[in-house]
Each structure stands twice: as structure tokens, then as C-alpha cells.
Amino acid sequence: MTPRGPPGGSVVLLSGGMDSATCLAVASEHDRPVHALTVGYGQRHVREVRSARALARHFGVKEHVVLDLPLGPLLESSLTRPSRRLPRAGGRSTRIPSTYVPARNTILLAVALGYAESHRLGSIYIGANAIDYSGYPDCRPPYFRAFERVARLGTRVGVEKGRAPRIRAPLQRLSKERIVRLGERLRVPWRLTWSCYAGGQVPCGRCDACRLRALGFSRAGVHDPVAAP
């Protein structure tokens, strides 16, 4: 007999940015019912949480959980330490930038895995990208393949049924331009998203997240309603 995996449905790691919003749109089209999980891990601002709530309402998710996990003091990063200066956008570098948050995706995926197994969901969606990105090691395809193996070995459904929730990273091999085009096709409400690392009332236009976002919209020939002034 072929081992049965978990039922359908999905949980989306929803940060409130353009990538996670597009992931939510993909899951809403292909993998319902959709749950959303937003984690406040101690980042320097929570502006994006407001966007995540608005996106969850827009797409009508079955449940949206906003989890406060204040790990900032434990995680050395310019995204968790307001006293550290955010790096300004520039050319590509072989060095991992200071905005890297140690083990962030591992932590977020572990929480999402527990949620997915508890709610009998078959997929976990994450908006990671390995093309136009800042060079974080936990955004690469080998990392996600390794985490899927951990999920199979470390969950009851993986051991008893032979298959754990799958990690879905549908934007992983897309440029920011292609992500914008996909989002346009899926009618992602860009006005509700937030990407800037600095927070505030308007995007700074200088950080890596703002640079990559502007690059994607410019190359796609699409107006960004949240563009930096």
C-alpha cells in the first residue's frame, strides 16, 4: 500500500512583503484551505505585520496567526538591533550582509512545520528567493531540500505516513521582475505590501529590500504604489 501523506491545504509564512504576498496568492490559487503565519521574531520594526494582516484579510485565509517570538536579543543582526546601521543598497557582494538573521528561516520553518502537522496541512509556503536576493544562505535550494528531510525524519506524520508537509518555495528561481509579473497575473494588491527594512511611514529607498523591489517593478514595467519618494 502506498503511504498516505497529510491532507491538502497549506500554511504560508506571511511577512507582509511582496514575495510572501505573491506566495499567498499562489497558495490561494492552488492549495486551499490556506492558513497564514506571521512571526514577530524581534525585528527592528513591526510595520510589516500591519501589511500581513491586511493581506490575510484580502485573500480570505482560513486562519491568520500572528505569533510574538521575541528572539531579537539572541539573534545578532542589523534587523534585530536598532543600534546597528542598516547597510545601504549597492553592488552585489560575496559577503553575507549584516541584515542576515541567524537561523531565521530554520526557526520560522520549524514553527510552521509544527503548525502544519497539528492542523493536518500538506504544504508550507515560504517566499524565499535565490536569484535577486541579498545572499542569505537559508534561501538556497539545498537548504530547503535538507529541511524537507528533517521534516520527514522528525515528525509523526513523516514517520508513520511516510511523508511530511512539503516545503513550497515557488519564487525560489524567479527574478524580482518575474515575481512582479506573476503577482500581477494573480492580482496581488501591492499597495498592501511592505518591503523596507527601516520601517517608518514611507520606504527609505536605500536598503537592499527597497533596491530589489524597485528593480523588479522597474524591469516589469509596473507601477509600484508603495515606491520610495
Nearest to 43 by CA among 16, 72, 14: 72
Please report whether residue 4 resides in a domain.
no
Please report whether residue 120 resides in a domain.
yes
Nearest to 125 by CA among 50, 41, 37, 185: 37
Summarize pLDDT for 46-105 with one digit per residue, the tens.
Answer: 899 999 999 999 999 999 999 999 888 898 998 888 878 877 655 555 688 888 899 999
Given a contact cutoff of 8 angstroms between Cβ atoms, the answer to whether 133 and 139 are in contact is yes
> Which range of residues forms the domain containing residue 138?
10-220
Given a contact cutoff of 8 angstroms between Cβ atoms, the answer to whether 161 and 7 are in contact is no
Tell me how many domains the chain contains: 1
Please report whether residue 227 resides in a domain.
no
Please report whether residue 83 resides in a domain.
yes
Please report whether residue 228 resides in a domain.
no
C-alpha distances (whole Å) from 21 to each of 12, 33, 88, 93 are: 9, 16, 24, 27
Instruction: Look up residue 32 and give its three cell numbers.
Output: 486551499
The pLDDT assigned to 5 comes to 44
Instruction: Look up residue 70 and give its three cell numbers.
Output: 521575541
pTM of the model: 0.91
C-alpha distances (whole Å) from 173 to each of 28, 176, 179, 183 are: 20, 10, 10, 15
> Which CATH number fits the domain that encloses residue 194?
3.40.50.620
